[in-house]
Chains A and B, each alone.
Chain A
Amino acid sequence: MSISQKSAWIQFLIFAGVIVGWMVLFAVNGTVFYWLDETMKMTFYYISAAGFAALVTMNLIMSLLGERRRIASDERDKAIWRRASLWATAVSYTTVAILLLLTSILYMKQSSEAISVYFPLFIVVIGGVTLLLTQSIVAIVLYGRNMSYA
Chain B
Amino acid sequence: MAPLQKRALIGFSLGLILAVLLVVVFATRDIYTFDTDVNFRLMVYALWIGVPLVYLITVNLTLRKPQQIDERDRSIMERAPKIQYLAVLFSTIAWVIALTEAFWDKGQVPVIFLTLMLISTLVISTLAQSLGILTGYWKYS
Contacts and interface: CB of A to CB of B under 8 A. Distances in A.
The finding on whether chains A and B are genuine partners in a shared complex, rather than unrelated, reads yes
B34 to A, nearest CB: 11
A113 B34 CA distance: 12
B107 A89 contact: no
Contact of B92 (A86, A96, A101, A114): A96
A100 B111 contact: no
B110 A113 contact: yes
A102 to B, nearest CB: 10
Contacts of B81: 85-86, 89
B130 to A, nearest CB: 16
B61 interface: no
Nearest to A112: B111
B14 interface: no
Interface string B89-127: 000110110011001101111110111011001100100
B108 A103 contact: no
What bracket does the count of chain A residues touching chain B fall in?
20 to 34
A85 B117 contact: no
Contacts of B35: 108, 113
A89 B85 contact: yes
Contacts of B104: 117
Nearest to A97: B118
What bracket does the count of chain B residues touching chain A fall in?
20 to 34
B88 interface: yes
A104 B109 CA distance: 11
Contacts of B99: 117, 120
Given A89-B85, A117-B109, A119-B109, A103 B100 contact: no
Contacts of B93: 124
A95 B88 CA distance: 14
* 10 closest Cβ pairs, A-B complex: A114-B108, A100-B118, A104-B114, A100-B114, A107-B111, A120-B96, A89-B85, A117-B103, A121-B96, A120-B99
26 contacts: A85-B85, A86-B81, A89-B84, A89-B88, A93-B125, A96-B121, A97-B118, A97-B122, A101-B114, A103-B111, A108-B35, A108-B111, A112-B111, A113-B35, A113-B111, A114-B110, A115-B109, A116-B109, A117-B99, A117-B100, A120-B99, A120-B100, A120-B113, A124-B93, A124-B96, A127-B92
Interface of A: 82, 85-86, 89, 93, 96-97, 100-101, 103-104, 107-108, 112-117, 119-121, 123-124, 127
Given A103-B111, A120-B109, 6 more contacts: A82-B78, A85-B85, A101-B115, A101-B118, A113-B35, A117-B107
